[in-house]
């Protein structure tokens, strides 16, 4: 600690920060059932640890204090890495931050950030982008679908990782007070958008046909057949897919494994076609 006084203050260079950012895209590589992303977090932090601590003992201590349990939504880890890097810089320059303080910040942030990141990234953005791109891919087999999905996702993800790491690094622990107000609003807004889009996607992109003729009506001087599908469509377009989704939702909440639901739909489809209730458009 005496050496800190007669040296240049230690800091991370821009290439260092870029290395943290690059490694972040591989953070979950060693995900394991015991301490989950612990080794991944250290893997990301390695360039910073090597820059900030000179002696092998200090480096080893830094690695070991970051090997504790860690798990969050992977993209939100960039924010935490930024904040932790900020604290490590302070510590390397002689501040009194102990292991416990750094670990408390890490563990304290991972839960709330996962709570925001999961619904926004997995719950909203990916389904919306994927559904949109898959719609393009299914319709005209257009290459634009996959390209839009791949580049749209990665540009958004990498921009977010770089920016949030930067903000985390410059604000340090004060980030929790500065963004505390924004996060719930963001989650709320994303959930609204997600629910709305799911509501729109279900009737649009599910196809069902029930060809059973239940009535014959005279219209425009012609005998028109009214199928079960026509009747449902007249009540509300997309009625059956929405009802099916709600049944699946109810069963998922009863802890039925989704794979069983899919196998169930396979069996019902084959059975339904055999008895003539379900058809192909």
- Please give the Cα distance from 55 to 17 (Å, whole number): 21
- Give, as one character, the DSSP assignment of residue 74: G
* Angle separating helix axes 14-24 and 77-92, nearest 10 degrees: 140
155 binds other proteins (CB under 8 A): no
- Please give the Cα distance from 238 to 230 (Å, whole number): 11
Binding mask 47-86 for other proteins (x = CB under 8 A): ---x-----x--xx--xx--x---x--x------------
217 binds other proteins (CB under 8 A): no
Shortest spacing between CB 218 and other proteins, in angstroms: 27
Shortest spacing between CB 157 and other proteins, in angstroms: 7
Task: Say if residues 167 and 82 touch (Cβ distance below 8 Å).
Answer: yes
Where does this chain touch other proteins (CB under 8 A) — which range of 11-19, 81-89, 101-109, 120-128? Answer: 120-128
- Please give the Cα distance from 224 to 216 (Å, whole number): 6
Structure-block tokens of residue 42: 């250290």
Q: What are phi and psi of 213, to 5 degrees?
A: -85, 120
Where does this chain touch other proteins (CB under 8 A) — which range of 80-88, 95-103, 172-180, 231-239? Answer: 231-239
Question: Binding to other proteins (CB under 8 A): which residues in 240-279?
Answer: 241-242, 244-246, 248-249, 252-253, 258-259, 261-263, 265-266, 268-274, 278-279
Shortest spacing between CB 162 and other proteins, in angstroms: 13
- Please give the Cα distance from 110 to 104 (Å, whole number): 10
Q: Which of 9, 98, 104, 196 binds other proteins (CB under 8 A)?
A: 196
């Amino acid at each position: 600690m005496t050496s800190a006084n007669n040296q240049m203050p230690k800091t991370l260079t821009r290439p260092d920060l870029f290395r943290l950012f690059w490694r972040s895209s591989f953070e979950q590589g060693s995900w394991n059932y015991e301490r989950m992303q612990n080794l991944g977090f250290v893997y990301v932090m390695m360039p910073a640890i090597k820059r900030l601590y000179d002696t092998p003992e200090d480096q080893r201590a830094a690695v070991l204090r970051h090997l504790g349990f860690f798990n969050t939504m992977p993209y939100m880890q960039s924010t935490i890495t930024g904040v932790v890097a900020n604290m490590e810089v302070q510590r390397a320059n002689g501040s009194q931050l102990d292991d416990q303080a750094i670990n408390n910040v890490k563990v304290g942030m991972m839960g709330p950030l996962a709570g925001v990141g999961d619904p926004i990234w997995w719950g909203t953005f990916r389904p919306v982008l994927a559904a949109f791109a898959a719609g393009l891919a299914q319709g005209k087999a257009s290459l634009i679908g996959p390209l839009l999905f791949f580049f749209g996702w990665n540009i958004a993800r990498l921009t977010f990782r770089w920016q949030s790491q930067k903000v985390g690094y410059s604000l340090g622990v004060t980030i929790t007070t500065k963004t505390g107000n924004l996060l719930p609003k963001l989650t709320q807004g994303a959930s609204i958008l997600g629910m709305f889009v799911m509501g729109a996607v279900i009737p649009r992109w599910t196809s069902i046909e029930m060809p059973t003729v239940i009535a014959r009506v005279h219209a425009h001087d012609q005998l028109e057949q009214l199928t079960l599908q026509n009747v449902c469509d007249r009540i509300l377009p997309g009625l059956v897919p929405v009802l099916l989704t709600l049944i699946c939702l109810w069963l998922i909440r009863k802890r039925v494994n989704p794979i069983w639901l899919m196998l169930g739909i396979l069996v019902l489809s084959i059975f339904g076609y055999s008895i003539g209730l379900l058809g192909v458009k």
